[in-house]
């Protein structure tokens, strides 16, 4: 073990720092009895200001009398304050770049004696960089093509969609159904609003496909397919579905009037230009993040350094959680 700094006296407090591991330091702090006694008396007087002592006006009781009433609380307050003050002094005077939370050891403060405690801290690794100019990085282009703009317009159009009620007729693929439902084994239970459901024929086992042919007002029993990976003896869940309305999905026309609904854009052309700028800005940020990742990766390949033990323990715990989650 290497002693980083020993017997650093500040206001008579002794702080010793030892290197126990490459990124771990152990501080031993000793506060003399004289300081602790003065701090204890100050704590007693502070507590006495608001304490009612029989036979005395608030704040007027002698210190000797006060101690009989507030000594236990004053010792606790004094010890906490001096422990924290000693820790902060040790960090400041030794210029420690702390990582994570300190771990305080047992605090020893006998009556009339010195306060002694140990604190274990992790610090940032020290990395000496000789030549960083040899790291090769590549920057992605942030060009924007019309397909990306068209896709964004399509997404905006999709967000402006409306659903119009159709005249009473049987449901077909591509329709949207306003439905309500209840458990299949509870015919007396009230219906629950199920919202809009797409009649998607690409999923033949889905509820939408099972509703094809229904008309408004009709009910039908439908089964929810058993999820993949479920136990073999798991039965499909059955619901009674009621069709309230048949609806058609209506996309708005992409024109200047529609463009105005998305902000101060008098035309589709200006909306497209803004979309182009937004995509270019996003790509530029992504390119910068990618460059930063390349720089970090380059440093990791070129330099090696120790990591704080607490950080390694935390990473190990996270990996264990991930393993248990997918086990």
pLDDT in tens, 231-256: 665 667 888 999 999 999 999 999 99
Supply the pLDDT for residue 230: 56
Which of 205, 220, 250 is the last residue in one of the domains? 250
Same domain? For 176 and 206 the reply is yes
Supply the pLDDT for residue 248: 95
Same domain? For 190 and 73 the reply is no
Same domain? For 150 and 274 the reply is yes
Same domain? For 53 and 92 the reply is yes
Which of 250, 280, 313 is the last residue in one of the domains? 250
Predicted confidence (pLDDT) per residue in 34-63, tens digit: 999 999 989 988 888 877 777 777 777 777
Same domain? For 73 and 22 the reply is yes
Same domain? For 112 and 85 the reply is yes
Supply the pLDDT for residue 166: 94
Residue (of 27, 29, 25) closest to 125 by Cα position: 25
Domain presence at residue 272? yes
Same domain? For 25 and 93 the reply is yes
Same domain? For 276 and 149 the reply is yes
Domain span at 223: 162-250
What is the tally of structural domains in the chain? Answer: 3
Domain presence at residue 214? yes
Per-residue pLDDT of the chain (327 residues; tens, 9 = 90+): 434 343 444 457 888 999 888 889 999 999 999 999 999 989 988 888 877 777 777 777 777 887 888 888 999 999 999 999 989 988 998 889 888 889 999 999 999 899 999 999 998 887 777 766 767 788 888 889 999 999 999 999 999 999 999 999 999 999 999 999 998 888 889 999 989 999 999 988 888 999 999 999 999 999 887 666 656 656 678 889 999 999 999 999 999 999 999 988 999 999 999 999 999 999 999 999 998 888 888 877 777 777 778 777 777 777 777 777 765
Q: What are the start-end ranges of the E strands in the chain? A: 2-10, 13-21, 24-31, 98-104, 115-123, 162-165, 176-183, 192-198, 219-224, 237-250
Which residues are CB-contacts of 181 (< 8 A; sequence separation ≥ 6)?
191, 192, 194, 239, 240, 241, 242
Same domain? For 139 and 269 the reply is yes
Please give the structure tokens belonging to residue 230. 């479920």
Alpha carbon 189 to its chain centroid, in Å, reads 41
* CATH for 30: 3.30.70.1050
Same domain? For 60 and 112 the reply is yes
Please give the structure tokens belonging to residue 201. 């024929």
Supply the pLDDT for residue 199: 93
Average predicted confidence (pLDDT) for the chain: 85
Domain presence at residue 325? no
Supply the pLDDT for residue 3: 42
* CA atoms of 318 and 327, how far apart (whole Å): 14
Q: Report whether 149 contacts 275 (CB < 8 A).
A: yes
């Amino acid at each position: 073990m290497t002693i980083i700094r020993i017997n650093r006296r500040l206001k008579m407090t002794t702080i010793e720092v030892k290197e126990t591991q490459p990124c771990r330091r152990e501080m031993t702090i000793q506060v003399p009895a004289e300081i602790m006694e003065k701090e204890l008396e100050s704590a007693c007087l502070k507590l006495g200001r608001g304490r009612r002592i029989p036979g005395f006006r608030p704040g007027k009781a002698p210190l000797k009398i006060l101690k009989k009433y507030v000594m236990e609380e004053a010792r606790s307050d004094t010890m906490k304050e001096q422990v924290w003050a000693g820790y902060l002094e040790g960090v400041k005077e030794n210029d420690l770049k702390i990582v994570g939370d300190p771990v305080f050891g047992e605090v020893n403060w006998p009556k009339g004696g010195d306060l002694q405690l140990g604190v274990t801290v992790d610090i940032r690794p020290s990395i000496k960089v000789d030549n960083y100019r040899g790291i090769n990085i590549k920057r992605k282009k942030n060009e924007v093509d019309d397909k990306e703009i068209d896709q964004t317009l399509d997404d905006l159009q999709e967000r402006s969609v409306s659903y119009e009620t159709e005249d009473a007729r049987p449901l077909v693929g591509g329709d949207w159904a306003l439905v309500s439902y209840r458990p299949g084994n509870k015919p007396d239970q009230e219906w629950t609003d199920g919202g809009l459901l797409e009649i998607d024929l690409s999923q033949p086992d889905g509820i939408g496909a099972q509703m094809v042919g229904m008309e408004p007002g009709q009910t039908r029993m439908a089964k929810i397919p058993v999820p993949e990976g479920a136990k073999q003896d798991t039965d499909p869940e059955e619901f009674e579905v009621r069709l309230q309305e048949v609806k058609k999905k209506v996309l708005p026309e992409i024109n200047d009037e529609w463009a105005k609904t998305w902000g101060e854009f008098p035309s589709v052309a200006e909306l497209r230009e803004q979309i182009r700028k937004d995509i270019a800005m996003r790509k530029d940020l992504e390119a910068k993040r990618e460059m930063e990742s390349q720089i970090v990766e380059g440093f990791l390949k070129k330099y090696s350094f120790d990591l704080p033990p607490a950080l390694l323990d935390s990473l190990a715990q996270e990996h264990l959680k991930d393993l248990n989650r997918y086990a």
